[in-house]
Amino acid sequence: MSLEVNILNQRFENPFMNAAGVMCTSTEDLQKLTASASGSLITKSCTPALREGNPEPRYKMLPLGSINSMGLPNLGFDFYLDYVTSTHDYSKKPLFFSMSGLSVEQNVEMCSKLKEIAAEKSVILELNLSCPNVPGKPQIAYDFDDMRKYLQAVSDAYQRPFGVKMPPYFDMAHFDSAAAVLNDFELVHFITCINSVGNALVVDVETESVVIKPKNGFGGLGGEYVLPTALANVNAFFTRCPSKLVFGCGGVSKGEDAFAHILAGASMVQVGTALHSEGEGIFARLIGELKEVMSRKGYTTLDEFRGKLKVIDN
């Protein structure tokens, strides 16, 4: 049995990696992920300069997941560029680089600097178009004209294949429109679905209060709550963007969840809330559980069932 994934000119031992934002801000975090059983890892979404992020409390565990409004705390582009250039051990596993400039110009500036190192070190860019947590900055991918501007500018500046981290959509018309924009950009080679379900509100009835401080308690929902929404988005883009890869992110805490993501069309499977709760040991567990599901069903590779989700015919 093999969980190997061969995509983007790279070989991944298995499809599992962290979701950008979880356990990936410092060198220590990134080295823990490199030493773990994951097939890959991604750095924290960065901005040109260091950001402290939003005031605490800004992350809260919930019975079936989490709510967060971190606000892109990160050590700044140069720190992650240095990690990519001098620290990461590429013989262990391939590396993704998440970028979340707060304007077109910031992304262009960072892409122009990343481009040469990316050619040399084969690090792979995931452009975050979906952070819901920066006060006053709407999620880019909810405005299709804006999204097109970002993709055009990044394509022109970067001139290499890259991926995009998308927010969840909830309407067929929006799946169609977003996919049509993405299909216009040849350099977009993968689509990661989904970022957290933005601007949820959790209420603690005992204290009669919200549970996180930023944005008066509004924040991104993750974990088990969002699995069906994540699967819908993975499958919607898998069927609408046949020349692109889809990465699944959202609600993965056991092997069966990963199986469902791959069945819906995912090539890589990112883990966020459950990694935050359980630590990097989760990857060995997920690998074992995914293999168990595959063995029960008689599959020996991921290619045998990826994207083969059945629908109910009469």
* Residue ranges binding ligand SIN (CB under 6 A): 21, 45, 70-72, 128, 130-133, 195-196, 220
Residue 25 or 40: the one with the smaller Cβ distance to ligand SIN is: 25
Contact 165, 20 (CB under 8 A): yes
Residue 34 or 128: the one with the smaller Cβ distance to ligand SIN is: 128
Q: How far apart are the first and last CA of the chain?
A: 35
Residue 14 or 133: the one with the smaller Cβ distance to ligand SIN is: 133
Determine the Cα–Cα distance for residues 282 and 269; give it in Å rounded to an integer: 13
Which two tokens mark 24?
């990936």
Q: How far is the CB of 4 from ligand SIN (least distance, A)?
A: 29
Catalytic residue among 111, 131, 193, 241: 131
Element (H, E) at 62: strand 59-62
Phi, psi of 16 (to 5 degrees): -85, 140
Contact 68, 133 (CB under 8 A): yes
Residue 50 or 309: the one with the smaller Cβ distance to ligand SIN is: 50
Q: What is the dihedral of CA 99, 104, 110, 112, to 10 degrees?
A: 130
Catalytic residue check, 193: no
Phi, psi of 209 (to 5 degrees): -135, 160
Phi, psi of 116 (to 5 degrees): -70, -40
Q: Annotated active-site positions, please?
A: 131
